[in-house]
Structure 1
Amino acid sequence: MTKEELEKRINEIEWDDFEMKTAQNKLPNDVWETVSAFSNTSGGWIVLGVHQHGKKFDVVGCDDPEKIESDFLNTLRNGQKFNVKLTAWGKKYNIDGKIVLAFYVPSSLCKPVYFGSSINTYIRTGSGDRRATDMEAMAMLRDQSFGSRSEQPVEGTSIKDLNPISLETYHNHVMRFNPSFPYVDLPMEQFCEKVGICTSKGELTFGGMLMFGGRDVVQSHLGNFWIDYLEIPGTSYSDAKVRYTYRLQEQDNIWESYQLIIQRLRNFCDNPYMALPNGVGPEDESQLYALREGLVNFCAHSDYFSPMHPTIRVYTNRIEFQNPGRFMFPLEEIRTQLHSLPRNPSLIRFFRYAKLGENAGFGIDKMLTWEKLTGKNVDFKSDLVCSTVTYWFSDQASGQASGQAGGQAGGQVSEQVSEQVSEQVSEQVSEQVQILVNAIRENVYSMFEIQRRLNISSRRYVLVEMLTPAIEQGYVLRAYPDKPRHPKQRYYLSEKGLKLVK
């Protein structure tokens, strides 16, 4: 910071990276709060020798600048006042014969930074220092394992704790969309080890468990796991007639959640018809492709150890992806620089192996194609606790989203499959039924075989969104029509369904 830059800032206002204090005779007591705040957020300048009068600042200088500088730097470096040793670099300025000291305190790699006790943990918000909440302090602690926690083994687990359908559909997806993948032909246990689902000792990694684990093992180690997805018929909760018209039921793992959410997002954007289970093809440049990149990044960058849930909210004018955990790079660089800083590297690899995510660092670029395709912004926000990516709808898409919400508004989604079916049969049935019909064609299949052909691991989704509507509309018949739950139940197309085959 040059002298001219300093003088300009003194004549402006304090903000998140700039704090002025009098310090004419000694260091003020509240300087340590600012040191903690800058260390825990994005760093900033502390300027000593400037006195505040209301909204104006006067340069008063430091009477003994050498002692003040020594006291400040020694306190940071001796490790006695703060819980970690800190660094700073300083500059001395002569302004109208008065000495002003400026110290830059960088963001610390080891957070939270506090003095005395952990209650003295501060963060910077706007022009002030604020005591961190317990949730903010815990988020800083979890960030110390950023990029490594998902790679660690989960003691006492094995490949038997995985959801077998999730694992099989993922493996099939890799074979179909990435046939040259080097481990695709290995036995399943070796495949799991090579891709990082489990360790060489056979224990699941946290990433493998989160992505493909069965409900019991996930809940026993991460009881708060849940990816929440809601469709809200308004621009906010307050102007919505009901809280939501659709809410995703809890799924076993990330892979299950991803497959259901991508199918729901198809309803809110322009996308080419493709009878593919993942909804998009490898060369797809549609709006859905941009949303898919957002969904993959959302799943891979969430802090699953936070008490917050990752949540997707679809309003009539936007889609919000809100994640526990902050962005680990400055937001002002998001459009100009490539960053490869995944919170959960193994999760991003799983998606990339399945050709469902761009190479590291390029996902943001693909997300931003939404702006070119729609003329509407993609906004990014982040604080210590959470981060939010918002896709704004075009005026036409907003109208479509309003129609979707209005068509669904007849009561909140029930926990019971039968109630879900009655509410959802009328919305977007044709496309889902078409995909199912194309998969069955002239053959007869069990429910499990249909899931395998669709490459959709969620039995609930196939039943509620595809099979039941197809049966009710007469496109699909049961082999045992009077016994829907017959253990040998099979499904095939009616004459009406055969005419629908593309």
Structure 2
Amino acid sequence: MTHDDIIKITQTAESAVLEFKETTGQLERGMETLCAFLNARGGTVLFGVSDSGRIKGQDISDKTKRDIVEAIRRIEPTAPIEISYVSVLNTDKFVVALKAEELSYLRPFTYKSRAYQRIESVTTAMPQEMYNQLLMQRGGAYCWEAMTNVNLKIENLDENAIMGAVRAGIRSGRLPEATIREEIPAILEKFNLLYDGKLNNAAVVLFGNKFYDYPQCLLRLARFKGTGKEEFIDNQRVQGNIYKLLDAAMAFFFKHLSISGKIEGLYREEELSIPYKALRESCINAFCHRAYGYPGSSVGIAIYDDRVEIENTGTFPADVTLEKLLKEHHSKPQNPLIANVLYKSEILESWGRGIGLMMSECRRVGIPEPEFHTDGSFVWVVFRYEEENTNKHPTSIRQAPDKYPTSTRQVKTLVELIGEDMFSVKELMGLMQLKDRENFLNNYLNPAIEAGLVAPLYPENPKHPKQKYHLTEKGKE
């Protein structure tokens, strides 16, 4: 830094990135401000300049330099600070400039074990809540998903969900076959969810079955009448692990979006108003990359007559602009532990290509590409479409007036899938790519049986080991 640089800088007032101190006699306050700059966008502290910006300079001795270096060493974690001693013209005095660059991936910084923040031109102690949030954003052992909960027990997890993830991982070749024979604790250690006998928060998000201490494991679902939020057609709240919430989200889309499809062999190719794969990928991103550290946070899905909005707490990675996001880019998951398990269990198909998949799927069916938005606290995706018969707002699908009053879109999907065949619950869930048995029974199979459209092969023994389901005459009609 040169004398001309100092003159240029001092022509501006103190700000969120600039602080003046008359001498290093105020070194402590200057270092607190430098710490605050590191916790934000970076900035410069000048010693030898008055509050008004007049360049006065000061004497510099070896002790002064040692004191400055020693003070910088008290900033944690270690940060590269540029130190400049700039001579003041026609004097034997100097201006000391300490410059800090933005290092968002290392925040929060502390000086003498205390964190500071900068608000306009004022430096204050950082609130504990903000410090904790920055710690979680730093990642590693400090991020929310990696924090252990000593009160969390393996019995608080859903063993069926864990083994389902293992089977999917083996089927996809992402886990060795021997994993299926391992005990649950060993599997959780392999997934990096159990360390030194303690479970971390990611274990609950992925496989939890009790959520008293985890209100953020929540999905809000709404179908609005028209294009605004004035009137609900359907309003639901579902709490559960990622696999359960993903199933609930997709079931909600099948319930409220127009659907058409055809059967090819055993598999049904269904087309929603918005492509199934695009919606599913967007939901996976919302569950995988959201900021879980806020207890009151959730994922929200809102369906309108002309669009679907999917939102979650969080933001884009600091160095990934919206322009980069829409191109092929490297994946930087907010929650790498959660993302790793979802990848191994075949929920995440690839890294960094999800947005490209959403865009190509929308182009394929001729609807606008999805819109991506963030305000620094939330991320939301908007899919726009033209809904058929938007004035009817059906909450159920009927073959004829009042004919099958309980026949929802899920039931219609199930009936068309079964056709002339017979399937077990496991086979049906596999064909429909559903993983939550409870959701399948409550929203698909049981309503179809109650409507008289589907019947079990062994009605007198519901738990028969060879139980399968077929259409009744009513269902075939």
Alignment TM-score, normalising by the size of structure 1: 0.66
1:21 aligned partner: 19
Mark the CA change 1:162 to 1:480 in structure 2 (over 3 Å): closer, same or farther.
same
Aligned length: 448
Cα gap change, 1:163 to 1:337, in 2 (>3 Å) = same
Judged with a 3 Å threshold, the aligned counterparts in structure 2 of structure 1 residues 257 and 85 are, in CA distance, closer, same or farther, namely same
C-alpha distance in structure 1 between counterparts of 2:43 and 2:260, whole Å:
48
Match of 2:180 in 1: 187
Name which of 229, 247, 271 aligns with 2:220.
Answer: 229
Task: Tell me the CA shift for residue 378 of structure 1.
Answer: 0.8
Please say if residues 268 and 401 of structure 1, whose CA atoms lie closer than 8 Å, have aligned partners that are also in contact. no
Within a 5 Å distance, the mapping from 1:181-260 to structure 2 comes to: 181=174, 183-184=176-177, 186-189=179-182, 192=187, 196=191, 207-215=202-210, 219=212, 222-231=213-222, 233=224, 240-241=229-230, 245-251=234-240, 253-260=241-248
1:39 aligns with 2:28: no
Cα distance in 2, alignment partners of residues 318 and 441 from structure 1? 34
Question: 1:349 aligns to what SS in structure 2?
Answer: helix
Q: Could you say if the C-alpha distance between residues 460 and 199 of structure 1 is closer, same or farther in structure 2, counting changes exceeding 3 Å?
A: closer
1:226, CA displacement in angstroms? 1.6
| Pairing 1:475–2:466 present | no
2:55 aligned to 41, 57, 61, which one?
Answer: 61
Q: Which has the higher strand share?
A: 2
TM superposition score normalised by structure 2: 0.68
How far, CA to CA, are the matches of 2:358 and 2:5 in structure 1?
36
Tell me, in whole angstroms, the C-alpha distance in 2 between the residues paired with 1:487 and 1:106: 62
Q: What is the aligned partner in structure 2 of residue 377 from structure 1? A: 371
Alignment partner of 1:493 is 2:432: no
Q: Is the 8 A contact 1:280 1:289 kept in 2?
A: no
Query: What CA distance in whole angstroms lies between the structure 2 residues aligned with 1:164 and 1:72?
Result: 58
2:381 match: 391
Amino acid at match of 1:467: L
Work out the CA distance in 1 between the residues paired with 2:360 and 2:10: 41
Where structure 2 has 5 or more consecutive residues not aligned to the other structure, the ranges are: 397-403
1:411-430 aligned at under 5 Å gives the runs: 429-430=408-409
Equivalent positions of 1:437-448 (< 5 A) are: 437-439=416-418, 441-443=420-422, 445=424
CA drift of 1:12 comes to 7.9
Paired residues for 1:285-324 under 5 Å: 288-304=276-292, 306-314=294-302, 316=304, 319-323=309-313
Q: Determine if contact 2:20/2:45 at 8 Å carries over to the other structure.
A: no
Bigger CA radius of gyration: 2
Task: Give the % identical residues.
Answer: 16
Inter-partner Cα distance in structure 1 for 2:456 and 2:418:
16
Q: CA separation in 2, counterparts of 1:280 and 1:11? A: 70
Contact 2:21–2:45, Cα closer than 8 Å, also in 1: no
- Residues 201/160 of structure 1: CA separation in 2 closer, same or farther (3 Å cut): farther
Alignment of 1:51-200 (within 5 A): 60-64=54-58, 66=60, 70=65, 73-74=68-69, 76-79=71-74, 86-91=79-84, 101=97, 103-107=99-103, 111-115=107-111, 118=114, 121-122=116-117, 132-143=126-137, 145-146=139-140, 162-174=157-169, 178=172, 180-181=173-174, 183-184=176-177, 186-189=179-182, 192=187, 196=191
Aligned runs of 1:308-387 on 2, under 5 Å? 308-314=296-302, 316=304, 319-323=309-313, 329-332=318-321, 334-335=324-325, 338-363=329-354, 365-366=356-357, 374-375=368-369, 377-382=371-376, 387=377
User: How far has the Cα of 1:357 moved from its partner?
Assistant: 1.8
1:307–1:495 distance in 2 versus 1, CA, 3 Å:
same
RMSD of equivalent CA atoms: 5.4
Q: CA deviation at 1:260?
A: 1.8
Structure 1 portions without partners, runs of 5+: 53-57, 410-424
Pick closer, same or farther for the CA change 1:175–1:20 going to 2, 3 Å.
closer
